Amino acid sequence: MKRSRRMNTILNLAENQKEDVARQLADSQALLAQCEGQLADMKQCREDYAALLSTRISDSRKASELQGIRTFIQHLDVAIHQLELQLIERRSACEYHKEQWLRLKDKTQVLGEIKERYQRDEKRLTEHREQFETDELSQRKGG
């Protein structure tokens, strides 16, 4: 089997790996965007309830109603903190997949260049053999 054909198999495997990692990166980025959206929504909700609390305090509402709003805001704070931690993990996963993809992209590029070099070498060798055979034939006819 020619080296370029073997190299083609290796290159195809590397391309498949790169595509798998690209899908993982896309999934990671989607999860990151989703998490960022949830965090923004949750922070907006917290701001809205904090504003509600400040208007209710000035209206001298029932203490139980005010306490309920304060408790809900505390729950939002906990959820926001958990989402912020999740966001850090999502960013880290994205960075990891991006680095993997870049590494595989470079690898497939190098493998492609090697395959092309093998193909050029094989073509040159074939042309050289054909020239040699042509020269041999012409010497036999002339001799």
SS (H, E, C) 73-139: HHHHHHHHHHHHHHHHHHHHHHHHHHHHHHHHHHHHHHHHHHHHHHHHHHHHHHHHHHHHHHHHHHH
> Residue 123 is part of which domain span?
3-142
CATH, residue 8:
1.10.287.1700
pLDDT digits (tens, 9 = 90+) for 53-66: 888 776 666 788 88
Which pLDDT tens digit goes with each residue over 80-139?
999 999 999 999 999 999 999 999 999 999 999 999 999 999 999 999 988 888 888 788
Per the structure, how many domains does the chain have? Answer: 1
Query: pTM, whole model, 2 decimals?
Result: 0.76
